[in-house]
Structure 1
Amino acid sequence: MNNTAAVSRPGRAGDSEKITINLGYVDLGQIDLLVAESFYGNRTDFIRTAIRNQLAVHADALRQVVARKMLVLGLQHFSAADLEAARSAGQRLQIRVLGLATIDPEVTPELALATIESIHVLGSLQASSAVKAALAARIH
């Protein structure tokens, strides 16, 4: 019996990140029982609800940490034009995101290296494999 459950938010591709968790057989059985009794539509619905409930319990702490660490909450996208503007202004970016940070596929590794000083993402970073490789030492 496989005791792995996958969780992803509904929506368009790129709107969610798939994760895999391992659960004990008893926990998984209890979830399956709640699903069978129509408390939840499926395992994913149960797990998503449990995660949201825990995030709600810790909402105040999360808000304080986001403010203290000066994180952008949600989605932050960097286009080639954004990075060219930063390079023209002599700026080096410190990217700090809680959510999703995306770097446009048109951004070259050279442009990324010239303009991005550091990247700290709690969530997901989407960029070309070449850009990720070039910035590997700057990604925390």
Structure 2
Amino acid sequence: MTAEIVRLRDRTPDSEKITINLGHVDLGQIDLLVREGFYSNRTDLIRTAIRNEIRQHADEVRRTMVRETLEVGLRHYSREDLEKVQAAGEMLSVNVIGLAIIAADVPAELACATIKSLTVLGTLQAGKAVKAALADRLR
């Protein structure tokens, strides 16, 4: 049973929690729409509204992704990946929309030696030392 608990904790979350402030009237209108059955709950309405806004601006998002060569989704950088980059004498420009993960066993020195720039629109998961070491390269 303990192994199962550890395995679940090691999983990457499927979403990121955010907090927003809404006015009383807006919140009341959301609750009305939920009560009337248009949405199953407040979160359902907010997610739907956000997706509709993103869809409305989809062409601009695509153009920007191409212009800035952004990868979409999950991008994982292991220690082995970065060691190969270092052995080749190269440096990476990391550009991700979604989730970028720098493995927990990557030392800050290796990250600095291999990551030239870091743009993450979404979530960056990395150790505190790696995040601190790359802070000046994070856009």
1:23 alignment partner in structure 2: 22
Unpaired segments ≥5 residues, structure 2: 1-10
Q: Which is richer in helix?
A: 2
2:72 aligned residue: 73
SS of structure 2 residue aligned to 1:20: coil
- Aligned twin of 2:92: 93
Equivalenced residue count is 129
- CA drift at 1:110: 1.0
Counterpart position of 1:40? 39
Q: Secondary structure at the match of 1:67?
A: helix
Runs of 4+ off more than 4 Å: none
TM-score of the pair, normalised by structure 2? 0.89
TM alignment of 1:43-122, pairs within 5 A = 43-122=42-121
Q: Which amino acid aligns with 1:94?
A: S
- Name the structure 2 match of 1:14: 13
Q: State the distance in 1 between where 2:66 and 2:110 align.
A: 29
Q: Secondary structure at the match of 1:19?
A: coil
**How far apart, in 1, do the equivalents of 2:90 and 2:14 lie?**
29
Identical amino acids, percent of aligned pairs: 60
Shift of 1:61: 1.2
**Separation (CA, whole Å) in 1 of partners of 2:82 and 2:128:** 18
Deviation at 1:13, TM superposition (A): 4.8
CA distance in 2 between counterparts of 1:63 and 1:108 reads 34
Greater share of residues in strand: 1
Unaligned runs of 5+ residues in structure 1 are 1-11
Output one character per residue of 1:10-59: Cα deviation in whole Å (capped at 9) or x when no partner.
xx752211111111110000000111111111100000000011111111
1:137: Cα distance to partner? Answer: 0.8
Rounded Cα–Cα distance in structure 2 between residues aligned with 1:100 and 1:122: 8
Paired with 1:59 and 1:71, the residues of 2 have a C-alpha distance of 14
Across the aligned residues of Structure 1 and Structure 2, the Cα RMSD in angstroms comes to: 1.0
Partner secondary structure for residue 76 of structure 2: strand
What's the counterpart of residue 122 of structure 2?
Answer: 123
